[in-house]
Structure 1
Amino acid sequence: MHTLSNAPLRTVVWSTGGVGSIAIDAIARRPDLELAGVWVHSPEKVGRDAGELAGGEPLGVTATDDADALIALQPDCVVYAASGPDRDGGAVPDYLRLLAAGINVVSTSSTSLVYPPAYYSPDWRDQLQEAATSGLASFYASGIFPGFGSDQLALLLTTQSKKIDVITVTEIALNDHYPVADVMMDGMGFGRPLDFEPMLKTPGFIEMAWKAPIHLIADGLGVEVTEVRGTLDRRVTHRDIEVAFGTIPAGTCGAVRTRAAGVVNGREAVVVEHIIRMARDVGPDWPTSEFDATYRVDVSGDPDIHCAMNLGAAEGHGAGRAAMAATAMRVVNAVPYVVAAPAGLLSSLDMPNTLPRYAFE
């Protein structure tokens, strides 16, 4: 925990992909935050101006792949936005170094850490907690789904509930903008025939992927989840689809639907559904949206509650940027709150509403 002062919080952005680039631009616009450094993975990005890497004007901050140099800057916080198929395997060692050095971390990379008590690796969680405690630093992971759409929005709506039978949170997304081919193809199976077994089909993977938001909701509502059940469904595209990571050929997977259900008192009571398409006309029998990203909360109980939150402009105008912007801002807006928080691993249950500062500037 750091004492708040009038000085801008010195912030490092870790990676300059879609989310990282939005974070760089957002930090540069805010008087309460100062862009102190930027980490990049690709050698061709080393030495380039961070603002130009983010698609904007030069900011006078040079990107580097030297983690030690960034740690030596002793920033107040790192916005960690690196991505890849083995996100935590690469990220957790970085988190440990940063936290032990007394540097707060907000991350969009490790979605399983949106609720640390349910983290799939208790050993890593304990190491992170120890590093945070010893370094007097805090760690917070969020985003849009998992993140706001799968936890805080749902819990906010349940403040109207007298009785809850089932609460279902759903993301319906058009992800043709996402450029990381190994995540989309090997991880999720897009562009592969249906007999291909993506990482999603690994036994227990879906349960592990959505365990954190399910347990977060349950904890917020004061109930215990005794089991998580996962299912996977896929649909083929009947035409070639051009997407950010290449071409999805006709006859291969063009839409993926996962469902994870948390069992409470013997029934499926907390459900997370995730529907991703590469084009709007794939899987027309599934729930659809004219928006690039729609987040639904459906509460069956007394009263029944149905809420849809849409991001971006309708029908092809958002290009997926809205969801990435929301993901980035969930952690950028949280920076002052995380810096001020007690040391340790945090979830949204531990945080106030991370209201944006200087959003009207």
Structure 2
Amino acid sequence: MAHDPIRVVVWSTGGVGSIAIDAIRRRPDLELVGVWVHSPEKVGRDAGELAGGTAIGVAATNDADALLALQPDCVVYAASGPQRDADAVPDYLRLLRAGINIVSTTSTSLVYPPAYFAPDWRDQLAAAAASGNASFYASGIFPGFGSDQLALVLTTQSKSIRTVKATEVALNDHYPVASVMMDGMGFGRPLDFDPMLKTPGFIEIAWSAPIHLIAEGLGVKVTEIRGSLDRRVTDRDIDVAFGTVKAGTCGAVCTRAAGVVGGHEAIVIEHIIRMARDVAPDWLSSEHDATYRVDIEGDPDIHCAMTLGDAQGHGAGRGAMAATTMRVVNAVPYVVEAPAGLLSSLDLPITLPRHALE
């Protein structure tokens, strides 16, 4: 029996939103009925053209009331900005209360709602989902897949496990936002500069959700999360998208968060970012622009490396953006079908892509 397409709104037309618009228009089971934009100059423009393609007959708007009036089944929420959750949570509450399901790449800490850093907001979201009989699901690539669900899938081969370690190794010279890269992460700054990453508790909070998601999946309890930051300088100037990383300043950053189970560091998430491949040569490296590794110590030992981009190792930035987007677009039918509430990957079947094989 044929079913009516799922009616979808895309919230923002940045990198993720643009890919979502293009993906939805290709799907016979999904119908794009509206697009929200922040910039006044985008209002009234065709969503397909904003996404870098051809016109599709859907005009972008900044009128949230008009989009709610369309009564979509689901919103693909992809807005970004410095106050991500603070800006997004009021939108989430409004949509959920209106009975509209949400899939989001914005709030990465909600990949595992029980570990969300803002319990008051989480409780409000849960109440809104219950009152509107709607569901919320957040995902992405790291966290969302590479740091958590991929690891859990691989553990289905395990007899016993001592440690699970998920690592992203990335070349991020293409990222253009200086405030994030320099003030947030410390690139291009001397090592005596304290970036946001060095704020006490920041790393532990940032990676709490995937660590606790893995722990619940494996039926264990995390008693503590230990965070650490390591930085290395470059010995030469490196020209990158946000400017020049001068010799003698930070050219590589490694964050590590370890979940303690049974007295030892059992679930570890590590994030290694470089401005050039030859900085910090003693750290784990990759020939690709981005590699996502899972290493499981146990019976048996398991080692898996996932790369994005072309065979030469380039284009990982675009690949990671597409993978992030499709993690939530492919989840739309499953989230619409799911019981109301705040969902994680543990609450859904594998969100296999429908109509993707050409």
Question: How far apart, CA to CA, are the structure 1 residues paired with 2:75 and 2:174?
Answer: 26
SS of the residue aligned with 2:4? coil
Aligned to 1:281: 278
Q: For residues 135-155 of structure 1, give each alpha carbon's deviation from its aligned partner in whole angstroms, at most 9, with x where no partner exists.
A: 111000001110111111111
Which residue of the partner structure matches residue 104 of structure 2? 107
Distance between the aligned counterparts of 1:184 and 1:68, measured in 2?
36
Give distance in 2, aligned partners of 1:315 and 1:277. Answer: 18
Contact kept, 8 Å, 2:166 with 2:269, in 1: the verdict is yes
The separation in 1 between residues aligned to 2:250 and 2:343, in whole angstroms, is 37
Which of 294, 305, 310 lines up with 1:308 in the alignment? 305
Q: 1:254 aligns with which of 251, 261, 271?
A: 251
Distance 1:108 1:50, change over 3 A: same
CA distance in 2 between counterparts of 1:84 and 1:354 reads 27
CA gap of 1:130–1:156, structure 2 versus 1, over 3 A, is same
Q: Alignment RMSD, CA only?
A: 1.7
Give the counterpart of 1:220 among 210, 213, 217.
217
SS in 1 for 2:310: strand
Q: 1:50 to 1:178 in 2, by over 3 A?
A: farther
Deviations 1:305-344 (A, max 9, x none): 1111111124453151011110000000000000110000
Give the superposition deviation at 1:238. 3.4
The answer for unaligned runs of 5 or more in structure 1 is: none
CA contact (8 A) 1:234 1:255 kept: yes
- SS of equivalent residue, structure 1 residue 147: coil
With 190-199 and 20-29 compared, the bigger mean Cα shift is at: 190-199
2:317 pairs with one of 317, 320, 343: 320
Q: Is 1:334 aligned with 2:331?
A: yes
Whether the 8 Å contact between 1:85 and 1:187 is mirrored in structure 2 is: no
Look up the match of 1:144.
Answer: 141
User: Paired residue for 2:25?
Assistant: 28
Q: Within the alignment, does 1:92 sit opposite 2:80 as a pair?
A: no
Cα distance in 1 for partners of 2:30, 2:236 equals 46
Structure 2: which amino acid aligns with 1:292?
D
Give 2:206's aligned amino acid: A
Q: Which moved more, 1:111-120 or 1:13-22?
A: 13-22
* Matching of residues 148-159 of structure 1 within 5 Å: 148-159=145-156
TM-score, structure 2 as length reference: 0.95
- Give the distance between the partners of 1:6 and 1:332, measured in 2 at CA: 18
Amino acid at match of 2:267: V
Give the TM-score taking structure 1 as reference length.
0.95
Q: Which amino acid aligns with 2:208?
A: K
Asked if the contact 1:292/1:313 (under 8 Å) is kept, the reply is: no
How many residues align structurally?
Answer: 358
- Offset of 1:226 from its aligned partner? 0.3
- Identity rate, percent: 81
Q: Equivalent residue for 2:169?
A: 172
Q: From the superposition, tell whether residues 95 and 247 of structure 1 become closer, same or farther in structure 2 (CA, over 3 Å).
A: farther
1:78 alignment counterpart: 75
- SS of 2:81's equivalent in the other structure is coil
Q: Distance in 1 between matches of 2:94 and 2:184?
A: 27
Amino acid of the structure 1 residue aligned with 2:133: L
Counterparts of 1:44 and 1:245, CA distance in 2? 25
Q: Cα gap change, 1:261/1:9 in structure 2, threshold over 3 Å: closer, same or farther?
A: same
Aligned pair in 2 of structure 1 residues 135, 246: CA closer, same or farther (>3 Å)?
farther
Partners of 1:234 and 1:356 in 2: CA distance: 39
Structure 1 position 122, deviation (Å): 0.8
> Are positions 1:42 and 2:39 aligned together?
yes
Do 2:290 and 2:316's aligned partners in 1 also have CA atoms closer than 8 Å? no
How far apart, CA to CA, are the structure 2 residues paired with 1:7 and 1:244? 44
1:152-191 per-residue CA deviation (whole Å, 9 max, x = no partner) reads 1111111111111111011111223334443333322233
Judge conservation of contact 1:84–1:183 (CA < 8 Å) in 2.
no
Matched, 1:63 2:70: no
* Residue 44 (structure 1) shift: 2.3
Query: What SS does the aligned partner of 1:148 have?
Result: coil
My pick for the range that moved more, 247-256 or 155-164, is 247-256
Which residues of structure 2 form unaligned runs of 5+? none
Instruction: List 4+ stretches of structure 1 deviating above 6 A.
Output: none
User: Using a 3 Å threshold, how does the CA distance of structure 1 residues 316 and 164 change in structure 2: closer, same or farther?
Assistant: closer
Task: Give the match's secondary structure for 2:79.
Answer: coil
Counterpart of 1:135 in structure 2 is 132
Counterpart-to-counterpart distance in 2, 1:319 and 1:154: 20
1:296 aligns with one of 282, 293, 296: 293
Q: Quick check: 1:183 aligned with 2:180?
A: yes
Alpha-carbon contact 2:288-2:316 (below 8 Å) kept? no
**2:350 aligned with 1:353:** yes
